[in-house]
Amino acid sequence: MVPLSAYVAVSAILFVTGLIGVLIRRNFIIVLMAVEIMLNAANLNLVAFSHYLESMTGQIIALFVIAIAAGEAAVGLAIIIVVFRGKISTNVDEMNLLKW
């Protein structure tokens, strides 16, 4: 029987991996993939706790998160394509229009 703390630890490692990816990588697509990793870390947490607490709610929510993650990936990729058409680049540092 794998203890809950193991799941949580794996989940935390995954999350931090995704977080670091988001913060340090400059390629928009990779940033998006890092975000997906963070979402999956959260999913793992939800499923683990669901099993631990013997409640199905967490697993259902995990399913929702997966669906939303798919939608988010689709929208994100679409944005990347649009931006790429204008900039001929996927470098996040060049996308700095959101300032004063």
* Contact by Cβ (8 Å): 40, 81: no
Residue 86 sits in the site that holds another protein (CB under 8 A)? no
Q: Which residues of 21-32 are buried (b: 16+ CB within 10 A; e: fewer)?
A: bbeeeeebeebb
Is 2 or 98 the residue whose CB approaches another protein more closely?
A: 98
Task: Restricting to residues 29-48, name those near another protein by CB under 8 A.
Answer: 31
Residue 100 sits in the site that holds another protein (CB under 8 A)? yes
Is 54 or 93 the residue whose CB approaches another protein more closely?
A: 93
Q: What is the DSSP string of 10-22?
A: HHHHHHHHHHHHH
Is 27 or 59 the residue whose CB approaches another protein more closely?
A: 27
